Structure 1
Amino acid sequence: MTGPLRVALVGPAHPYKGGGARHTTELAHRLRALGHPTAIESWRAQYPAALYPGRQTIADPEGEPYPDTRHDLAWYRPDGWWRTGRRLARDADLVVLTLFSPIQVPAYLGLLAGLRSRRGGPRVVALCHNVLPHERRSVDVSLVRALLRRTDGVVTHSPEQARLAEGLLGAGRDLPVVAAMPPHLPETGGAAPEGTGAPGGERRHLLFLGIVRPYKGVDLLLRALAGGAPEDVTLTVAGEFWGGTAELEAQAAGLGIADRVRFLDGYVPAEELPGLFGAADAVVLPYRTATATQNVWLAHEHGVPVVATRAGTLADHVREGVDGLLCEPGDAADLARALGEFYAPGEPGRLRDGVRPVDAEPYWRAYTERLLGA
């Protein structure tokens, strides 16, 4: 890299919610601070409602919005995909396509057609938050393969994801670049308030936070709560339930713990997070599989230890025995063992004392270097 690059990030930004929008926005701010003129090409309609049953947008931003943001893309306007590509072929040196779901691929292929319609256009990098979905179909593989083979570079957030992308790229291509996901946490107004709870500051309460889908393992957490945690420990499951709450409610009733579990169905806005964290001894992340998540750092930002599986990059963010405990993914018995160990006398307070907020700067410095080098 010999000088400033004109960068276009194609991805969600406010009013879209969640970690994807926060990541795109924070990345734009960081690149501009490094001297690279950056714009965000966002969506006015990202997914069909039938394919994304949760809430897609929010009224209040969860961080500082990025000023140079356009909202011209829509999943139902292929002509807009091509026009955006034609414009970026003239205005950008580097185009970054942020990939969250194969649903985005048709739009990205249309955008690429516009980009390639001009000679000497910008380099195009696919920034893969997920190379393939956790719950995938055969068409997903075909779509993502078609996208990755048309780009100039691929960036993933873990070696495991890089290997998956490498298999789709085929022979003769540069290997995917691995850039560890940097922190991009919502602004919640500060740390969680001190709980009242039992003597020693214990709340006797656990928290699961995030979109509830099968790969997140909430069913395993219910089994572990019934079999491993003390009988006075309760649980809140807060987030958007993509299949509704009925099945998990029935499971809790069958396990005899319905009175110990509270299901809060719906997106949790940033201002409500301190209260949820303040009521919990630990955040539990029982994922069967994972790529990268902010939830360990988010818990630590609020002074709360984490019990997590070793799926994906979760274990990279937990200092076992210092600010959390780890167990094997997909194993309810091992999760029950970890919950039992967590509630050994004095252990919740000891692990809470070990929690430190993450220092974001080294992560972002390394991340932007890896992305620009791709």
Structure 2
Amino acid sequence: MGTSSGAPGGLRIAIVGPAFPYKGGGAHHTTELAHRLAAAGHDVVIESWRAQYPGFLYPGQQTISDPEGEPFPGTRRRLDWRRPDGWWRTGRGLRSYDLVVLAVLSPVQVPSYLGILAGLRRGARTVALCHNVLPHERKPYDEPLMKRLLRRVGGVLVHSDEQARLAEGLTERPVRVAEMPAHLPVAAAVAPGDVKVRRRLLFFGIVRPYKGLDVLLHALAKGPGDVGLTVAGEFWGGLDETRELIRSLDLASRVELRPGYVPAADVPGLFTAADALVLPYRTATASQNVWMAYEHGLPVIATDVGGFAGQVRDGVDGLICEPGDAASLADALGRFYAPGEPERLRSGVRPVDHAPVWAEYLDMLTGDALTGDALTGGAR
């Protein structure tokens, strides 16, 4: 078994969730969390999957050939969606661990996590680390599944006050909030002196209805007529509908679609070619995209959902507008492109020092606030 070599007094911690070479923010976060916990002196293992999601739910390419970061050496891939008996065995194999962290990205994971919990010893310390308590686009079974899971774990860690309220409505277990620190790869930032206004905006990442690309397109049609938009990311459905909307709004000459996963090597060029990153989300939990934009010296135009208003300083390093409101977003685009504003907002952008954020995050995850008693090293 490859794990970190924990220092005396450190904990034995198992993280269950996606990890490299799977792509996406969940895999990045799990892997980076393992590295950070190991660096803090804990003995860490990741229990991951032979496939990140069942094929019928995500038929696309789930892995990438070159992990966009350093894989964690103590990563095992024994979990299989088709083998529920293996879930219980995985839990049984983790009985000697001080803390088991379940990385929750979707209710689809709940049956396997319940199987793992059934295999653990009675009284095991467990935390549901919820990237999303409930999906942005919900199905009738989502809430019952999440309620069952959150009532079985010792505590719940979320990344925003809104998500905490959701979790508190599903469980009486302790629910705590910790800001999600940066975990996505960052390439060389844009040179500080590069302030050329390019009259182009960027929409970046997986395209799903809750992210409001349609609202942005309507706003673009209402806003400054010489501003272009690049849309770069995987479409989880709706690509043909998006193309038709672009045609109907007469935006074909102004909008570039780059559907598909964006390798880390291509990210700097996308950010360099834009004046601002636009996050027109209808709903949100926590997003790494604001931090990525700031690392590349780019202001952010975002809606007032999730944690965006806490990340973006309105009028200093970006603008905040109303969600689901094309007129409000169009007004924000007009304000952004007022003479001198792109340069002024870019000058206010500062990369964030995430070392203190990570330190608080690890303290919250491993401390006593989530599961009751203070954790100490050694098996029980």
Query: Fold-level match, TM-score > 0.5?
Result: yes
Partner of 1:65: 71
Q: Distance in 2 between matches of 1:293 and 1:66?
A: 23
Partner of 1:138: 140
Shift in Å, 1:194: 8.6
Q: Distance in 1 between matches of 2:271 and 2:32?
A: 24
Partner of 1:222: 217
Q: Which of 93, 109, 114 is matched with 2:98 structurally?
A: 93
3-state DSSP class of the match of 1:258?
Answer: coil
Shift in Å, 1:89: 1.0
Q: Can you list the C-alpha shifts for 1:273-298, whole angstroms capped at 9, x where unaligned?
A: 00100100000000000000000000
Structure 1 unaligned spans of 5+: none
The answer on 1:152 being equivalent to 2:158 is no
Partner of 2:177: 178
Shift in Å, 1:195: 10
The answer on 1:355 being equivalent to 2:358 is no
Q: Can you list the C-alpha shifts for 1:108-132, whole angstroms capped at 9, x where unaligned?
A: 11111111xx445x31111100000
Q: Distance in 2 between matches of 1:56 and 1:29?
A: 22
Pair 89,194 (structure 1): closer, same or farther in 2 beyond 3 Å: same
Shift in Å, 1:87: 0.3
Q: Can you list the C-alpha shifts for 1:28-87, whole angstroms capped at 9, x where unaligned?
A: 111111111111111111212221244321111111111111111111111211111000
Q: Distance in 2 between matches of 1:161 and 1:119?
A: 28
Counterpart residue type for residue 76 of structure 2: R
Tell me, yes or no, if the aligned pair for 1:193 and 1:274 is still in contact at 8 Å. Answer: no
Tell me, yes or no, if the aligned pair for 1:7 and 1:94 is still in contact at 8 Å. Answer: yes
Q: Distance in 2 between matches of 1:75 and 1:351?
A: 47
The answer on 1:236 being equivalent to 2:230 is yes
Identity of aligned residues (%): 66
The answer on 1:24 being equivalent to 2:30 is yes
Counterpart residue type for residue 184 of structure 1: H
Q: Which of 116, 122, 127 is matched with 1:111 structurally?
A: 116
3-state DSSP class of the match of 1:50?
Answer: coil
Pair 193,76 (structure 1): closer, same or farther in 2 beyond 3 Å: farther
Q: Which of 61, 70, 81 is matched with 2:87 structurally?
A: 81
Q: Distance in 1 between matches of 2:238 and 2:257?
A: 10
Counterpart residue type for residue 178 of structure 1: V
3-state DSSP class of the match of 1:41?
Answer: strand
Counterpart residue type for residue 66 of structure 2: D
The answer on 1:5 being equivalent to 2:11 is yes
Structure 2 unaligned spans of 5+: 1-7, 371-380
Partner of 1:102: 107
The answer on 1:371 being equivalent to 2:370 is no
3-state DSSP class of the match of 2:253?
Answer: helix
Partner of 1:167: 169
Q: Distance in 2 between matches of 1:242 and 1:4?
A: 41
Q: Distance in 1 between matches of 2:218 and 2:107?
A: 32
3-state DSSP class of the match of 1:71?
Answer: strand
Partner of 1:343: 337
The farther-off stretch of 93-102 and 178-187 is: 178-187
3-state DSSP class of the match of 1:126?
Answer: strand
Q: Which has the higher helix share?
A: 1
Tell me, yes or no, if the aligned pair for 2:51 and 2:62 is still in contact at 8 Å. Answer: no
Q: Which of 105, 115, 126 is matched with 1:124 structurally?
A: 126
Tell me, yes or no, if the aligned pair for 2:133 and 2:167 is still in contact at 8 Å. Answer: yes
Tell me, yes or no, if the aligned pair for 1:193 and 1:275 is still in contact at 8 Å. Answer: no
Any runs of at least 4 consecutive aligned residues in structure 1 with deviations exceeding 6 A, and if so which? 193-196
Tell me, yes or no, if the aligned pair for 1:245 and 1:263 is still in contact at 8 Å. Answer: no
Question: Normalized against structure 1, the TM-score is what?
Answer: 0.93
Partner of 1:35: 41
3-state DSSP class of the match of 1:326?
Answer: strand
Counterpart residue type for residue 87 of structure 1: G
Tell me, yes or no, if the aligned pair for 2:21 and 2:71 is still in contact at 8 Å. Answer: no
Q: Distance in 2 between matches of 1:54 and 1:195?
A: 40
The farther-off stretch of 31-40 and 204-213 is: 31-40
Counterpart residue type for residue 191 of structure 1: A
Q: Distance in 2 between matches of 1:14 and 1:326?
A: 34
Q: Distance in 2 between matches of 1:107 and 1:344?
A: 52
Q: Distance in 2 between matches of 1:300 and 1:187?
A: 10
Aligned-residue CA RMSD (Å): 1.6
Q: Distance in 1 between matches of 2:122 and 2:220?
A: 60
Shift in Å, 1:20: 0.9
Tell me, yes or no, if the aligned pair for 1:54 and 1:242 is still in contact at 8 Å. Answer: no
Counterpart residue type for residue 104 of structure 2: L
Describe how 1:210-289 pairs up with structure 2 within 5 A: 210-228=205-223, 230-289=224-283
Q: Distance in 2 between matches of 1:55 and 1:102?
A: 21
3-state DSSP class of the match of 2:278?
Answer: strand
3-state DSSP class of the match of 2:126?
Answer: strand
Counterpart residue type for residue 181 of structure 2: P
3-state DSSP class of the match of 2:298?
Answer: coil
Shift in Å, 1:250: 0.8
